[in-house]
Chain A
């Protein structure tokens, strides 16, 4: 599987509702050791939503600094952003990703900045 097999794919819950498309894939460096890199990067979850520009520029992260007006604008643009933990992903198909959690139960994609 490739990263681009996930990016842009629509995410659907068990009731057939769309949570939007995958805008990014969150990774955590806590996997098995690999060469000189240390712990490998593990797929932790999917950042999904109807609009992606704020997420792609990092404005969904609380600690990202920027002009307040720009932050406000991107916060509004990404207001429907959601985060899906990888263990809630059931199947990955070429045109859709099925998840086991209702869209209403998904959290916002904000996380503490450590990247």
Chain B
């Protein structure tokens, strides 16, 4: 049976990611393409999201700066774009529906780090409603 046909740029790039509970979980900034061990055409194995992936799309000095800032905010093995395995993709429509909760996704890492290390230390941060 012939499979569904999609154009990656048209149908996937920049689409909103929605987690299991309907919460917004970032946007598709790039796709990870993997050539199978036995050879053959590449398969889409993951969605890449966040500034680390977006920087490359912006290109030039601005893109390099965005990627560098995203990397500066993380360390070690975290110095790569947030990766969401296609195994947790449930449906591709006008948004990309995921079967995992936002807290389990890598896209949540940078947001959580910024919240804990920067926002929490700002005067009045404790007054913000949840």
Contacts and interface: CB of A to CB of B under 8 A. Distances in A.
Interface in A1-48: 1-7, 23-32, 34-37, 39-44, 47
Contacts, number: 118
Contacts of A57: 10
Contacts of A42: 3, 41-44
A112 interface: yes
Give the contact-size bracket for chain B: 35 or more
Nearest to B5: A114
A43 B43 contact: yes
B40 to A, nearest CB: 8
B71 interface: no
A1 B10 contact: no
Secondary structure call for the B interface: mixed
A58 interface: yes
A23 B85 CA distance: 25
Given A35-B85, A35-B87, A7 B9 contact: yes
Nearest to A45: B41
B1 to A, nearest CB: 8
B4 to A, nearest CB: 4
Which 10 A-B pairs have CB atoms at the shortest separation, nearest pair first? A35-B87, A30-B3, A29-B3, A3-B31, A41-B44, A24-B9, A29-B4, A115-B6, A25-B8, A24-B7
Interface of A: 1-7, 23-32, 34-37, 39-44, 47, 55-58, 86-87, 111-115
Interface of B: 1-11, 13, 30-36, 41-45, 48, 53, 56-57, 85-90, 99
